[in-house]
Amino acid sequence: MIPVGESGGLDDDEMTNRSDALPSTATRAVLVAALCCACSSSAAPVEVPDFDLPTITDLSGPVLKAPRVQPIYFPGFPYASDMDTFFQRLAASTYWPAVVTEYGVGALTALPGYATNVALPATLSDVDLSTFLVQALTEGYATLGAPREDTIYALFLSPDSTLTMQGQTFCGDGDPSANHEEVAFADNHLVDAFFPTCPTSSASSTLTGVDALTPTVSREIVETATDPFVYSNPAFGMIDGLHALWAGAIHEEEVGDLCENERPNLITPPDIGHPVQRIWSNRSAQAGTGPCVPVPPGEVYFNAVAAMPTLVDYDPFGETYPLPAMDAEVGLPVSAQISFRGGPTAPSPLTAVAFELDDAGSLSVEQPAEVMGAPDQAVAAPVATSAPMASGLLPLVIRATDAAHSAVHYWVGAINRH
C-alpha cells in the first residue's frame, strides 16, 4: 500500500517524474453506439475498446440526497472569504450534478461559513479534531442551529496547525491532504471533512493560494456526499471484488480516489473559476469515454491492459473471487503481455511501464523499463520489482501515457508469485 493524496494511493509527482504505472475483470462491457447521420440510422456500429475497469459498488448505505455544506473556519485560516465563494459557485455549477447524479446525490446547498473562536493546538490528530468540531458546534449553536445528519461540516485549519492521522502527517510529500469521517454527537451521526492548509496541492505543484485547496475540497465534498456514514452504514466506498487489487494499489476505494492519480485529473469550470478534481463515473467507464468526469472536449481515453491468463482464488473480505492473474515464480524476472487500447482516434504512439507492488517501498527501488506501441498493438513489458520479491497474489500496475507524458492512465492486474 502506497500512501498519498487523500489518505493513500500512488504518488502523483513521483510517478510522473519517473519514466514509469492498477484485480481486474468485472464488467467487460462492450458498448455499441449507433452512428447516426442526418437522414439515416443505418451506419455501422462502433465497438468501444474493452478497458477492463473497476466499478465502485453500492454497499446499500444512504447517500446525501439533498446535501448541505457548512464551512467552519478555525482561527488563522486565511481563505475564508474565498472558500465561501467557492462553495456558492460549486453548489450552482454544472460540475456538481455531472459528478454526483449517477450516485443518487442531489443538489448541494452552500451555507455561509462560520468563523469559530475554538482554538486548535499546534499539533492535533483527526480524533482530536472531532472533539473540536463538537466544541465549535456548541459554541455556534445560535448561528448554526442544531447539528444535522444531512450537513457536511467542512473544517478548515490554520497553516500553523499540524494534523496527523494514524501516525501520518498531513500535507507532506506523499502524505494525505484531507479526509472525511463520521462523528457520533448526541443521538446523531454527523459527517465532516477536514482540510489542513497545505502549502501546495498533491494534484499539481503549480497551484498556489486557495487554488491549492480547491481540488482536494471538491474531491472530499463529493466523497462525503456519496459515502457519508463510512463507519456505520457505508455507501459508495468499495471497488467490486473482481478488481479488489485496485484498492490495494491505491489504498482507497471512493469515487474521487480512482481519479486522483490520473492525468489530467483537474478541470477549471468557468462557472467555478477554481480547479476541481475529476471524479470516477461507473457509467463513463463502461461507455469507454474515460472513467473520470467531466471529460474535457476532445479528450480520447486510452490505456494499456495486461493479459491475465489464469484464475487464482482471492479472499479479501471473506468472499472468494476467482481473480484473473499472470503466473510468475518468486525471484525470477517476468514480462507482462500488454495491449494498448483506445480505438482509432487515440493518440499514437503510446508508452507503458509495468511493475508489481510487493511492499510499501516498491516505488523507491523499482526501475521500470518503458515500452512503446500503438492502439490495438500488443507488446511485452518487463515487470519491475523491488527485492526481495514476495510470494502470493500482488498488484500488477500498468501505467500508460501518450508520447509527451501529458496524459497518464493506470490499470491494475494481478501477478501470482509462487
Question: Mind listing the pLDDT tens digit for each residue in 284-317?
Answer: 999 999 999 999 999 999 999 999 999 999 987 7
Strands (E) located in 82-207: 109-110, 114-115, 123-125, 151-156, 162-165, 168-169, 179-185, 188-195
> Which one is predicted more confidently, 166 or 101?
101
pLDDT at residue 69, as a whole number: 98
| Cell 492548509 belongs to residue | 197
SS3 state at 63: coil
Q: With a cut of 60, say whether residue 73 has pLDDT above it.
A: yes
Q: Which long-range contacts (CB under 8 A, 24 or more apart) does 278-281 make?
A: 278/99, 279/99, 279/100, 279/219, 279/222, 279/255, 280/56, 280/255, 280/256, 281/99, 281/102
pLDDT at residue 47, as a whole number: 64
Cell numbers at residue 321, please? 473471487
Q: Is the separation of the CB atoms in 220 and 178 below 8 Å?
A: yes
Q: With a cut of 90, say whether residue 37 has pLDDT above it.
A: no
| Average pLDDT of the residues in 248-275 | 93
Cell numbers at residue 253, please? 476505494
Q: Determine the residue type at 362.
A: S
Report how far residue 41's alpha carbon sits from residue 35's, in angstroms, rounded to the nearest whole number.
7
Q: With a cut of 70, say whether residue 244 has pLDDT above it.
A: yes
In the beta sheet, which residues pair with residue 153? 70, 192
Q: pLDDT-derived band of residue 43, with 50, 70 and 90 as boundaries?
A: very low
In this structure, the number of other CB atoms found within 10 A of the CB of residue 73 comes to 22
Q: With a cut of 90, say whether residue 61 has pLDDT above it.
A: yes
Q: Report CA 263 to chain centroid distance, whole Å.
A: 12
Go through the domains of the chain in sequence order and give each one's CATH number.
Answer: 1-29+47-56+241-264+299-418 (2.60.40.10), 68-234 (no CATH)
Report how far residue 405's alpha carbon sits from residue 344's, in angstroms, rounded to the nearest whole number.
19
What are the φ and ψ backbone dihedral angles of 99, each rounded to 5 degrees?
-105, -15
Q: Determine the residue type at 197.
A: T
Q: Is the separation of the CB atoms in 400 and 370 below 8 Å?
A: no
Q: Report CA 253 to chain centroid distance, whole Å.
A: 7
Q: Is the separation of the CB atoms in 266 and 275 below 8 Å?
A: yes
* 295 DSSP assignment: P
Task: Give the CA diameter of the chain.
Answer: 69
What is the per-residue burial (b if ≥16 Cβ within 10 Å, else e) of 76-106? ebebbeebbbbbbbbbebebbebbbebbebe
Report how far residue 335's alpha carbon sits from residue 381's, in angstroms, rounded to the nearest whole number.
5
pLDDT at residue 362, as a whole number: 60
352-374 pLDDT tens trace: 999 998 765 665 666 789 999 99
Q: With a cut of 50, say whether residue 26 has pLDDT above it.
A: no
Report how far residue 79's alpha carbon sits from residue 216's, in angstroms, rounded to the nearest whole number.
14
Q: pLDDT-derived band of residue 12, with 50, 70 and 90 as boundaries?
A: very low
Q: Is the separation of the CB atoms in 365 and 338 below 8 Å?
A: no
Q: Report CA 368 to chain centroid distance, whole Å.
A: 23
% pLDDT > 90, the chain:
72
Report how far residue 188's alpha carbon sits from residue 149's, in angstroms, rounded to the nearest whole number.
7
pLDDT at residue 321, as a whole number: 81
Q: Determine the residue type at 241.
A: G
